[in-house]
Amino acid sequence: MQFVEELVVDEFLPTVRSLLAGELRDRGLTQSEVATVLGISQSAVSKYAHGDVATNDRIAADERVDSLVDELGAGLASGDITPVQALIEIEVLIRELETGGDLLAQLHEEAVPELADHGSSFRVHDPENDRRTSERVLSSLRRGLRILENASGFAGLIPAVGSNLVACTPDASNIDDVAGVPGRIFDVKGKATVPADPEFGVSEHVATVLLSARRHGATAEAAINVRYDADVLAELEEQGHETAEFDESDDVGSSVGAAIDDHPDATVLYQTGGPGIEPLIYLLGPDAEAVSDDVRSLL
C-alpha cells in the first residue's frame, strides 16, 4: 500500500528541490544562501548539485513544474517571493497534479494499479475545499501582480485613485470572497508599487464591479481598473475585447449590471467620469494572470 503523500515526499519534492537548487545557483546564490532559502542543509544542496539525489524525469519534464520552478527561482533570488509564498504555490501545484488523470494521480495509479478501477473521475484528494480554493486565488493574484510590477510602463496606466487587481472564488457572493491589494497599487515616482500582499475582503470598488458583472451573467473571476483613455479603449477593441459603458453613480452595481445585460460578452467596462469622479476602464478576465497579460499588451 502506497499513499500519494509518500510519492510526493519521495519523488515530487526531491525533484522540485533539485530543480530549484539548480535554478537558484544559476541565478548567483551561494550554496549557503540556497540552503537558507529552501530550508535544507548545505550538504543536501551539494547532493542536489552533484546529482546524488534521485529525481523523477516525468515530474521534471512537466511544463507546469518547469514554469513554476523558473518563476519561483526568479522570485526567491530577487526577494520578491518569500519561502512561505513559494511553499504555498508548490502546494497548490501538488493539489492540481493530484486530481484524477493528472500527473501525480497517474504516477500513484501506476504504483497502486487498483486505484485505476475507480475511473477517471477519481480524486486522490478533494482539491475544492475552501482553503485550497482560497490558496489558488491568492497564488494566481500574486502571479498577476508580478506581471504588472515587471511590465515596463504600467505605472502610466494607474489612475489617480490607484489601481487594484482583484480575483474571486468561483462561487463568490460578496466582497469577502474577493481578494485584492490592501491600499491599492499606486504610481510612486514612475514605478508601480504594491504596498502589501493580497488579502480577501480588502477591495470594495473594483470588487463591486466584478461581483455585479458576475451577478448579471459575466463569467470573469478577476478584474483591474486603469485610467480612462480613448486610445487605450480603442486598442482594447482592436485586440478583440467587447466594451460597454456604464454610468458612475451611487449605485455602481446596478449600472454595471445594466451594462452587462446590454452587452453580455463585454470584457471591458468603462465610465467617462463626472464632477469629482475620475474616468476609469475596468478589464475583466478568467483569472488575475490573464487580466494582467491584457494590461501588459497595452504597453
Q: Where are the domains of the chain?
A: 4-118, 129-298
Among 40-49, 69-78, 250-259, name the most confident range: 69-78
With a cut of 90, say whether residue 136 has pLDDT above it. no
Measure the CA–CA gap between 83 and 89, rounded to whole angstroms.
Answer: 10
- pLDDT tens, 196-247? 999 999 999 999 999 999 999 999 999 999 999 999 999 999 999 999 999 8
User: Is pLDDT at 120 greater than 90 in this prediction?
Assistant: no
**What is the per-residue pLDDT for 130?**
65
Contacts 24+ apart (CB under 8 A), 148-152: 148/185, 148/192, 148/194, 148/292, 148/295, 148/296, 149/80, 149/192, 149/194, 151/192, 151/292, 151/295, 151/296, 151/299, 152/299
Give the predicted TM-score (pTM) of the model. 0.65
For all residues of the chain together, what is the average pLDDT?
Answer: 88
C-alpha cell at 75: 522570485
The pLDDT assigned to 144 comes to 93
Residue 126: pLDDT above 60? no
In the chain, what percentage of residues exceed pLDDT 90?
62
Contact between 243 and 268 under an 8 Å Cβ cutoff? The reply is yes
Question: Which segment of 22-36, 187-201, 246-260 scores lowest on mean pLDDT?
Answer: 246-260
Question: What is the pLDDT at residue 248?
Answer: 73
pLDDT of residue 282: 98
C-alpha cell read off for 222: 478577476
Residue 186 host element (H or E): strand 186-188
Q: What's the rounded Cα separation, in Å, for the pair 132 and 18?
A: 25
Q: Are 231 and 256 in contact (CB under 8 A)?
A: no
Residue scoring higher pLDDT (138 or 131):
138
Residue 171 scores a pLDDT above 50: yes
**CATH no., domain 129-298:** 3.40.225.10
The DSSP call for residue 118 is: G
pLDDT value at residue 123: 47
pLDDT higher than 80, residue 1: no
- Residue 104 and residue 178: Cα distance in Å, rounded? 30
Q: Label residue 201 left, alpha or beta by phi (over 0 means left) and psi (-120 to 50 means alpha).
A: left
* Beta-bridge mates of residue 280: 227, 271
Amino acid letter for position 93: L
- Of 251 and 125, which is predicted with more confidence? 251
pLDDT for the residue 250: 66
pLDDT value at position 148?
Answer: 95
Contact 211, 175 (CB under 8 A): yes
pLDDT given at position 42: 83
Block residue for cell numbers 448579471: 216
Residue 261 has pLDDT above 80, yes or no: yes
Specify the pLDDT at position 100: 60
For the cut 50, the answer to whether the pLDDT of residue 7 exceeds it is yes
